[in-house]
Structure 1
Amino acid sequence: IKNNAALRRLFLAGVQRFEAELSTYTVAADWNHPAGNERFLILTTDFATSKRLAVAFEEHDPLGRLYDIDILQAGSQRALSRTDLGLPKRSCLLCHREAKDCARSRRHSVAELQQKIAAMYMKEFGERG
């Protein structure tokens, strides 16, 4: 399950907090589809600063760990990575190893991930999703 009412609620709560950290932006698109939720923003902040804001949100907001915020520069073919800025790679939601390694090896079950996200939902909203 990549999307349902509870996941949409978590997504919107986190988006609202991330957007509150931005000085100015325009919402270019907001997608709520079975494969998950996505929002595309056009930022006026410079490329590197935008990525640093995104990483800070992902690492420090209670819901930020659920997000993978990509920062693309107009005309560029790839997103700016954490390592481009000398920042550590994203860690796993469950064990804090490198996230890509856990995903690639399927180290954790879907049930474990769902349990973690359900706990985050409970902590955020004080109810079951």
Structure 2
Amino acid sequence: MRLLPEHATQRAVSIPELLASRDERQARQHAWLTRHHAPLVSFTVVAPGPIKDSALTRRIFNHGVTALLALAEKSAWIVREQTALVSASGPEGLLSIEAPAHDLKLATIELEHSHPLGRLWDIDVLTPEGEILSRRHFALPARRCLLCEQSAADCARGKTHALSDLLTQMEALLHDADSRNINQ
């Protein structure tokens, strides 16, 4: 389920392409839920800027896939099906996992908090009925910005930080994870 970083398109995507890609992801999610009747993990990489499929995002994605599979194994959860693909919105993983959706979401939130790259992952858990379990279901605050203590959504909306600074921070986090041999 790994993606080859050297095959990244490095292509800038437009807003209409990004919106269409998100609609396609929702359709894929629905099809998986219909097929498996089990909780679904939909995993993407936080990728600021117009280039969503890069060597950087694919390497971050691969760490996330490894961490998710290790989490399932450690928890003795069965992964019914898994796939990795790349869309206009970047790398995407889908994992149908036999586990209580609530427990799965709590475990993925912990993974996002404990892993050096967790802040760069967007791990959605959908119930078999299609409800997306979010941080607010667990009374947790919004995700923080990569560079400051403000809400990530607020900083993104206000374009508070330079794209180059965000990408530099992403590279630094990846380098840290690689140097500690996390999920290798």
Q: TM-score by structure 2 length?
A: 0.62
Tell me, in whole angstroms, the C-alpha distance in 2 between the residues paired with 1:105 and 1:27: 39
State the shift of 1:34 in Å: 4.9
Give the structure 1 partner of residue 96 of structure 2: 42
3-state SS of paired residue (2:132): coil
* Secondary structure in structure 2 of the residue aligned to 1:123: helix
Q: Distance in 2 between matches of 1:58 and 1:67?
A: 7
RMSD over aligned CA atoms reads 1.7
Count of equivalent residues: 125
User: In the alignment, what sits opposite 1:20?
Assistant: 70
Deviation string 1:4-36 (CA, Å, 9 cap, x unpaired) is 233212210222012201132233431134531
Give the alignment partner of residue 6 of structure 1, picking from 51, 56, 60: 56
- Are 1:25 and 1:42, in contact at CA under 8 Å, matched by a contact in 2? yes
Identify unmatched segments of 5+ residues in structure 1. none
Higher relative contact order (CA 8 A, sep 6+): 2
Could you tell which deviates more after superposition, 50-59 or 91-100? 91-100
d(CA) in 2 for partners of 1:124, 1:59:
14
* 2:116 and 2:176 in contact (8 A); partners too: no
Matches within 5 A, 1:17-96: 17-22=67-72, 23-76=77-130, 78-96=131-149
Preserved contact between residue 25 and residue 44 of structure 1 (Cα < 8 Å)? yes
> Which structure is larger by alpha-carbon Rg, 1 or 2?
2
* Secondary structure of the structure 2 residue equivalent to 1:38: strand
Q: Normalising to structure 1: TM-score of the pair?
A: 0.85
Paired-residue identity, %? 33
Q: Which has the higher strand share?
A: 2
